[in-house]
Amino acid sequence: MSDAGAGTVGVIGLGLLGGAIAERLTRAGFAVYGYDVRSECGGEAPSAAEVARRARRIVLSLPNSDIAAMVLAEMEPHLAQGALIVDTTTGDPEQITGFGASLAARGVRYLDATVGGSSKLVREGAAIVMVGGDAGAFEECRDLFQCFAGRAFHMGPCGSGARMKLVFNLVLGLNRAVLAEALSFAAKTGVDPAAALEVLKAGAAYSKVMDIKGEKMLKGDFTPEARLSQHLKDVRLILAAASRCGAMVPLSKIHQELLDQAERAGFGSMDNSAVIRAF
């Protein structure tokens, strides 16, 4: 591979999250070569295969692991020995573990580098990254992670980042649902929801979700930073993983029902704070 290719970072998937990552990498001085199947998302590369030919390190940011599988299949014949895939897709941990094993067999390294935080937090450099895969590859990508995340955690072998992301999203999503229920409950009982939010922030009930999503819920501003339907997909992954290992997740089952209601009501493409509309 040429020296120019070695210095180029590919980004495949330029939606909310991938676009924010590409923006942070560009601002940090990296040469970013981006591709998205949707032309309106921008990106100068004509295909994922061309990104594989041009870049040694490639960031994937895709809707789910099924789509990641298709993109990897397109890229694989064009990946150089020693290439490094950094997959930020929230997907099925078992499927993602398989990606790592398949790529390793042909000398390509793979990190499941799941992101904790919305595109807004990524743009602020305040997200976290939970990474599974080879420790050496993790260290090699610290410079990338530092561009868009406040902290990067190496969780263990391939698949560990994906598993931790489900744990992370279980808590984060339920925090949003609890806040939505509380603000709706406040309004129904005659308490001003804005005043309720101020009190909640001041006491032991506080969670960071109140800072990030509270005003959006109060104002009904559902401009997407992370879409509701994407989180519904994540909750389904949580329930599937729980079924495989026998974990009890009764709150997540209720959460799925709420998100299903909101999606059926037409809020799937909106911000995940729109869960309040289920109430």
Alpha-carbon dihedral sign for residues 249, 250, 252, 256: positive
Which of 225, 224, 243 is CA-nearest to residue 235? 243
Q: What is the pLDDT of residue 6?
A: 46
Any residues with CB less than 8 A from the CB of 136 and at least 6 apart, and which? none
Q: What is the pLDDT of residue 269?
A: 97
Q: What is the pLDDT of residue 183?
A: 98
Q: How far apart are CA 112 and CA 133, in angstroms?
A: 7
**Which of residues 157, 190, 216 is at a domain's end?**
157
One domain, residues 18 and 134: yes
- The answer to whether residues 182 and 197 touch, using CB atoms and an 8 Å cutoff, is no
- The answer to whether residues 201 and 211 touch, using CB atoms and an 8 Å cutoff, is yes
Identify the helix (H) or strand (E) that includes residue 112. Answer: strand 109-116
Contacts made by residues 244-250, CB under 8 angstroms, sequence distance 24+: 244/94, 249/170
One domain, residues 51 and 66: yes
**Which of residues 97, 132, 157 is at a domain's end?**
157
Give the total number of structural domains in the chain: 2
One domain, residues 252 and 136: no
* Tokens read off for 252: 């997540």
Q: How far apart are CA 244 and CA 40, in angstroms?
A: 39
Q: What is the pLDDT of residue 4?
A: 36
Q: What is the pLDDT of residue 3?
A: 36
CA angle (10 as vertex; 7, 12 as ends), nearest 5? 175
One domain, residues 30 and 151: yes
Q: What is the pLDDT of residue 241?
A: 97
**Which of residues 130, 157, 184 is at a domain's end?**
157
Q: How far apart are CA 68 and CA 90, in angstroms?
A: 10
Q: What is the pLDDT of residue 158?
A: 97
One domain, residues 46 and 140: yes
- Whole-model pTM? 0.93
Q: What is the pLDDT of residue 39?
A: 85
**What does each of the 279 residues of the chain score in pLDDT, given as a tens digit?**
333 334 799 999 999 999 999 999 999 999 999 999 998 888 899 999 999 999 999 999 999 999 999 999 999 999 999 999 999 999 999 999 999 999 999 999 999 999 999 999 999 999 999 999 999 999 999 999 999 999 999 999 999 999 999 999 999 999 999 999 999 999 999 999 999 999 999 999 999 999 999 999 999 999 999 999 999 999 999 999 999 999 999 999 999 999 999 999 999 999 999 999 999
One domain, residues 40 and 122: yes
**Which residue segment(s) compose the domain that 98 sits in?**
3-157
One domain, residues 153 and 191: no
